[in-house]
Amino acid sequence: MPTATFRIWRGDITGGKFCDYRTDVAEGMVVLDAIHRVQAEQVPDLAVRWNCKAGKCGSCSAEVNGMPRLMCMTRMNQLPIDAPITVEPMRAFPLIKDLVTDVSSNYRAKQRITPFKPRPPDAADGTWRMAQEDVDRIQEFRKCIECFLCQDVCHVLREHRLHEQFIGPRLLVHVAALEMHPLDIESRAEELRTVHGVGYCNITKCCTKVCPESITITDNAIIPLKERVVDECYDPLTKLFRIFRPARAPEAPG
């Protein structure tokens, strides 16, 4: 059986380093299998987050040979095993231990987004009618498994650490799903600009490239949201109209 060397990041908030572990590579194996094998045979307290092992829950995100990946969907035969395979935690988030990071900022950001609110039911029995094509339009966004790999590569979060000012691609996809939901009647344009920091995104499309669900994040979600913000907040006619209206609640700082 061939073997491979895994260069795994080990450490916690106080610091850490890469450590090498050799393990067997069986047919069809994925990186997460190798990590589990190392854990069961060599480093019982190695910290790794995982659940479904089928690419559906988005728990086992990490950087494999420098690429943000789901470890459960990264097959060993896609990686050269003549050199050590590096496995390290997502660098955009604070480290907890080894391969596990603190992704709680994403959960906090979601809580700040105005929730779904449907129009009144269409039928007397309290149900709605929707066309399949209207549903299809946002299915792409609803496929998101919240692996946060898009957040990991977003330079606004990764380099500039603006987790509290910018909700990031995952949550912009969430807002897009709400805004384009056939039943939703809320408008989130103002909060996108003032609270969620949509303006920070400068469309480098790194997020789209790493999405394991192949969601066209930038083109289908973020750009339409930016256009919506422009239409609703910066349209000259609307602006003029606003000037002649009594002031409303003060805006949150941008």
Partner 1 sequence: MAEYQTHEHDVLVIGAGGAGLRAAIEASAAGVSVGLICKSLLGKAHTVMAEGGVAAALANVDERDGWQVHFADTMRGGQYVNNWRMAELHAKEAPGGVHELEAWGALFDRTSDGRILQRHFGGHKYPRLAHVGDRTGLEMIRTLQDHAIHRGITVYMEHTILTLLEDGERVVGAFGYDSERGFFHLFHARAVVLTTGGIGRAYKITSNSWEYTGDGQALAYHAGAELVDMEFVQFHPTGMVWPPSVCGILVTEGVRGEGGVLRNKEGRRFMFDDIPELYRQQTADSEEEGWRYTQGDRDARRPPELLTRDHVARCIVREIKAGRGSPHGGVYLDISWIKGKLPSAAERIKKKLPSMYHQFKQLADIDITAEPMEVGPTTHYMMGGVRVDAESQMSTTPGLFAAGECAAGLHGANRLGGNSLSDLLVFGKRAGAYAARFATAHGFGQVRTDQVETAARRALAAFDGDGRPGGAESPYRVQHDLQELMQNRVGIVRREDEMVHARDGIARLRERATRVRVEGNRQYNAGWHTALVLDNLLTVSEAITCAALERRESRGAHFREDHPGKDASAGAFNLVVRKGPDDEMQVRRQPIPEMRPDLKRIVEEMK
Interface contacts to partner 1, rule CB under 8 A: 12, 26-30, 33, 39-40, 44-59, 73, 75, 96-98, 100, 102-104, 107, 110-111, 115-116, 118, 121, 126-132, 135, 138-139, 142-143, 145-146, 174, 178, 181-184
Question: CB of 164: closest distance to partner 1 in angstroms?
Answer: 17
User: Is the CB of residue 226 less than 8 Å from the CB of residue 169?
Assistant: no
Question: CB of 244: closest distance to partner 1 in angstroms?
Answer: 35
Phi, psi of 174 (to 5 degrees): -60, -45
Here the contacts of 197-203 (C-beta below 8 Å, separation 24 or greater) are 197/156, 197/162, 197/165, 197/166, 197/167, 198/172, 198/222, 198/225, 198/226, 198/229, 199/226, 199/229, 199/254, 200/156, 200/162, 200/165, 200/166, 201/154, 201/156, 201/166, 201/169, 201/172, 201/226
- With respect to partner 1, which residue has the nearer C-beta, 155 or 182? 182
User: Is the CB of residue 144 less than 8 Å from the CB of residue 192?
Assistant: no
Question: CB of 66: closest distance to partner 1 in angstroms?
Answer: 20
- With respect to partner 1, which residue has the nearer C-beta, 89 or 197? 89
Question: CB of 26: closest distance to partner 1 in angstroms?
Answer: 6
- With respect to partner 1, which residue has the nearer C-beta, 170 or 193? 170
- With respect to partner 1, which residue has the nearer C-beta, 12 or 235? 12
User: Is the CB of residue 105 less than 8 Å from the CB of residue 163?
Assistant: yes
- With respect to partner 1, which residue has the nearer C-beta, 39 or 194? 39
Question: CB of 238: closest distance to partner 1 in angstroms?
Answer: 28
> In whole angstroms, what is the distance from residue 101 CA to residue 86 CA?
17
Question: CB of 108: closest distance to partner 1 in angstroms?
Answer: 10
Question: CB of 191: closest distance to partner 1 in angstroms?
Answer: 14
- With respect to partner 1, which residue has the nearer C-beta, 109 or 225? 109
> In whole angstroms, what is the distance from residue 74 CA to residue 64 CA?
9
- With respect to partner 1, which residue has the nearer C-beta, 26 or 240? 26
